[in-house]
């Protein structure tokens, strides 16, 4: 994906960072898997394919650096892992907003929801409390389709 590479190069330069293969490949690993929410170890596994010389410590350090610059976002999805995804400053201009996370309480799977219906809420808060909202993070908890179907089935069986 040469387009992304160019974009990431510019983003790194704009933030005063040297363009290195490792930094680019970490950004690309996250960019190409927007729904995966990778842990540092998983990022390492992805990056290793193209850069076999990279070490886990370097990956950790690079992730910290990119997170400090908001090029990637740190996520806590309630499963005890720190996960990452492309952040606001690293994202495409036509996808300025990230997605929201739907977390299944039964199997722990994380679904994503594109689209943002929170502008009205933010405006109300802004007007009522004179609090300037610049960002939000939304986690919705519930049961995914598979788990719902399994629950309904179980319920039906116990009623027989």
What are the residues binding Zn ion (CB under 5 A)? 85, 104, 106-107, 116, 144, 147
* Nearer of residues 6 and 123 to Zn ion, judged by Cβ: 123
d(CA 145, CA 58): 39
Considering the complex, what minimum distance in angstroms separates the CB of residue 13 from Zn ion?
26
Token pair 């005890």 is found at: 80
d(CA 153, CA 145): 12
Considering the complex, what minimum distance in angstroms separates the CB of residue 58 from Zn ion?
24
* Nearer of residues 17 and 77 to Zn ion, judged by Cβ: 77
Considering the complex, what minimum distance in angstroms separates the CB of residue 38 from Zn ion?
10
Would you state the structure tokens that stand for residue 76, as one six-digit string? 């806590």
* Nearer of residues 13 and 148 to Zn ion, judged by Cβ: 148
d(CA 46, CA 33): 10
């Amino acid at each position: 994906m040469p387009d992304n590479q160019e974009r990431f190069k510019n983003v790194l330069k704009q933030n005063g960072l040297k363009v290195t293969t490792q930094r680019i490949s970490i950004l690309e690993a996250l960019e190409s898997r927007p729904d995966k929410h990778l842990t540092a170890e998983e990022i390492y596994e992805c990056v290793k394919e193209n850069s076999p010389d990279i070490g886990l410590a370097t990956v950790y350090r690079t992730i910290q650096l990119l997170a400090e610059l908001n090029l990637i976002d740190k996520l806590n999805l309630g499963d005890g892992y720190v996960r990452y995804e492309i952040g606001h400053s690293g994202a495409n201009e036509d996808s300025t907003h990230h997605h929201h996370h739907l977390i299944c309480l039964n199997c722990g799977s994380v679904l994503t929801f594109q689209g943002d219906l929170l502008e009205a809420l933010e405006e109300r808060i802004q007007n009522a409390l004179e609090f300037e909202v610049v960002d939000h993070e939304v986690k919705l908890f519930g049961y995914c389709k598979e788990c719902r179907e399994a629950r309904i089935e179980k319920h039906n069986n116990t009623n027989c």
